[in-house]
Structure 1
């Protein structure tokens, strides 16, 4: 199986090939046909299973046909539990976004917020964020989430372990109900199942690892 055969646009396949990525991982093979069609997806897989590309490819492919990013109104949101993971996601997503003419920025705490606020003011298509700093900036009016078309929750179980789920719910409540949502998690413990029931619409479930792994 190839990325092209799964429905990934040729420009994104070329971007992957430049980085030596030619064969999809099982989580990508399983989820891409559904996510590229706009379905809500629950992906079960451990860290290192290839989840980041599994959601980055459909996110970029589906936004590529839209208009230009407007100030403070991103079109896609990826939530991650830690700044390290948020940075890794941005590193994977960045070349794909560039190939599609999309812009992105990363938002997390522990650093000055002004560069993040300025990036949002210029307009970005995709925001990769940790919940705490994102809520701070939402409260300050630095961005709105009412134009979000695609939302991704990565490592939702880790977010639950860190106590982020109340904030995640407040954030998701600000996104439009009709948008596509993808949730990736190794387990459905500690309230992750509640997120699935409340925010995903008729999701397709794909598990590539047993929960015990």
Structure 2
């Protein structure tokens, strides 16, 4: 979360993308534009110039638990985004500490649920593995044979994947074939073109009411 980033690192990130990227930080229930400026980092109408000032800026709002903070940010992004593309994601394999996740489900699973609940385009790149592969299987975009063996997982993982599966009817029938194809494609550059085409058609069909 941005709250834990060092001033020096945040400044470097913002400076690197200053000409091409608009960066906004989720704080409390709002997004705040962040960019280099004023001899430091401009956060909305304020300027911070060191770690202490950055920490003080974040401290002006309550600090939620990490899982809650992530969920709030995901809901905010869902409301702002036109579509979502997911790949990878933690699977809660208990024997791998790096695969652990906070909260009731992996973040990428929550993002999938929020997106489909909001009736927005969701493209699942299951071929890259992780929780996204299980999401693709649950949505019938990949066959069950794509499931990979794994040791015991967090108890909340399987119910979360089943919850995603119950939203499969939200996928447009006219795009299901294309969604299946892209879910099984790990060619990064070609996949990018496919994703753009799918999202464009999905958004167009919504505008036409079909």
* Superposition TM-score, scaled by structure 2 size: 0.28
More helix by share: 2
* Superposition TM-score, scaled by structure 1 size: 0.28
